[in-house]
């Protein structure tokens, strides 16, 4: 296993504007590290620089203890799985898997043993004599993965490998890739634009936007404590509800509109600035109960409803933008209904209106259990 270290990495194609700038991160040996962000944010470019397929404009890239900026891809001791499989159509599955081993001049017996082992691991034993055109999308993706694994490189790079698969198969392959990575103990760097893949697969994730790092951390920490409104709305489904508020020292509250105010405790009066950005997760907006006080209740009018079987997602308007609410179960709610809800102060994030940095983290994240004592 090897670590990958990026020190002040930047990339420019015209030497005037940078598509990636000031990237500093250390990916630990054996870690599943995910690069996630919207299309065009620079995540695939960064992966290709690590692979040696793109020239590094500035900074230092280290693999292990070696600086590799000028090393060709073949000398970097890594493997890569591409989005489009990149299989040779005239070769069988077995020949596709073994192709890199031929280049490395691995003995015929060793090639056969490695191929048999990885084929069993990925459920490809019955397809070794078939051509890629005879396989389904998921089987082709497993062949591409097998070709990367069979090289036994300590680092594996993956560039959106599941984007061409249907939803059910993607969910299966997410689990399969994660289990294989744990079993082999390799360092895996995985690029995706899908925040669900990032949340479910990564030990740590890096969120990129316009070539800059927005936040690095464990998925659940980023979900609970987003660094800025971009991260807050990018991670989570549905995304965090965001709105601009005005601090009122007279009401000792942050005012969102004529109906909705967020009472602020006396010890947190420093949040009562002229402008502040507030955010709350859809699942943290609760249904009012008989015990709820009039001051706690906010009556909202429903503009959209999605009943998903195990949960219900509905929307209401706040200052001409839709806020979403997510409740467990099947709620008989219709468009046009007016229902009372509660928004707990402790569930809100506050962001600085100028720097966009988080200034108040939510202290109530409900089912966040620390440690394993709950199972004892």
Cβ–Cβ < 8 Å for 183, 198 = no
**What pLDDT sits at residue 258?**
78
Minimum mean pLDDT among 250-264, 319-333, 337-351: which range? Answer: 250-264
CA 318 vs. chain centroid, Å, equals 28
pLDDT exceeds cutoff 80 at 376: no
The residues, ordered by sequence, that sit 6+ positions from 184 with a Cβ below 8 Å of its Cβ are 149
Q: What does the pLDDT look like over 230-281, one tens digit per residue?
A: 999 999 989 999 999 999 888 889 999 877 889 999 999 999 888 999 999 9
Average pLDDT (73-100) is: 89
Q: What does the pLDDT look like over 352-364, one tens digit per residue?
A: 999 999 999 998 7
d(CA 219, CA 225): 10
The pair of structure tokens assigned to 274 is 């002229």
Q: What does the pLDDT look like over 164-198, one tens digit per residue?
A: 778 888 888 888 889 889 988 999 999 999 999 99
Average pLDDT (196-217) is: 95
Domain boundaries, the chain: 4-229, 230-375
d(CA 58, CA 61): 9
Average pLDDT (153-158) is: 92
Instruction: Write the Ramachandran bin of 321: left for phi over 0, alpha for psi from -120 to 50, otherwise beta.
Output: beta
Confidence of residue 367 (pLDDT cuts 50, 70, 90): low
pLDDT exceeds cutoff 80 at 211: yes
CATH architecture designation of domain 230-375: Beta Barrel (2.40)
CATH placement of domain 4-229: 3.40.50.300
Q: How many CB atoms lie within 10 A of CB 224?
A: 18
**What pLDDT sits at residue 366?**
62
Q: How many CB atoms lie within 10 A of CB 17?
A: 9
Cβ–Cβ < 8 Å for 25, 213 = yes
276 or 15: whose pLDDT is higher? 276
**What pLDDT sits at residue 374?**
46
Pairing of strands 349-352, 358-360: antiparallel
The SS3 of residue 111 is helix
**What pLDDT sits at residue 231?**
97
Average pLDDT (123-138) is: 91
């Amino acid at each position: 296993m090897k670590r990958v270290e990026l020190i002040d990495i930047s990339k420019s194609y015209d030497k005037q504007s940078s598509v990636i700038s000031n990237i500093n991160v250390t990916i630990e040996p054996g870690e599943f590290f995910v690069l996630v962000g919207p299309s065009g944010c620079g995540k695939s470019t960064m992966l290709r620089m690590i692979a040696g397929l793109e020239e590094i404009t500035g900074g230092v890239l280290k693999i292990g203890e070696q600086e590799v900026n000028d090393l060709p891809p073949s000398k970097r001791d890594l493997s890569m799985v591409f989005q489009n499989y990149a299989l040779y159509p005239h070769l069988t599955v077995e020949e596709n898997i073994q192709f890199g081993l031929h280049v490395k001049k691995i003995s015929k017996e060793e090639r056969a043993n490695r191929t048999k082992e990885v084929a069993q691991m990925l459920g490809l034993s019955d397809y070794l004599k078939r051509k890629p055109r005879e396989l389904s999308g998921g089987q082709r993706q497993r062949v591409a993965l097998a070709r990367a694994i069979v090289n036994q490189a300590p680092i594996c790079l993956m560039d959106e490998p599941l984007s061409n698969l249907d939803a059910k198969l993607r969910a299966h392959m997410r689990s399969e890739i994660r289990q294989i990575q744990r079993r082999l103990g390799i360092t895996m760097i995985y690029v995706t634009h899908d925040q669900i893949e990032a949340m479910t697969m990564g030990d740590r994730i890096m969120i990129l936007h316009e070539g800059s790092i927005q936040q690095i951390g464990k998925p659940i920490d980023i979900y609970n404590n987003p660094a800025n409104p971009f991260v807050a709305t990018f991670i989570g489904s549905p995304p965090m509800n965001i709105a601009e508020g005005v601090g009122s020292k007279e009401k000792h509250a942050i005012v969102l509109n004529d109906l909705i105010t967020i009472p602020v405790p006396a010890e947190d009066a420093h949040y009562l600035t002229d402008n502040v950005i507030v955010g709350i997760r859809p699942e943290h907006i609760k249904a009012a109960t008989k015990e709820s006080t009039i001051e706690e209740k906010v009556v909202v009018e429903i503009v959209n409803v999605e009943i998903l079987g195990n949960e219900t997602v509905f929307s209401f308007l706040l200052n001409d933008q839709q806020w979403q609410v997510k409740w467990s179960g099947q709620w008989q709610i219709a468009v046009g209904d007016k229902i009372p809800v509660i928004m707990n102060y402790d569930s809100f994030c506050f962001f600085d209106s100028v720097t966009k940095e988080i200034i108040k983290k939510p202290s109530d994240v409900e089912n966040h259990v620390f440690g394993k004592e709950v199972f004892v």
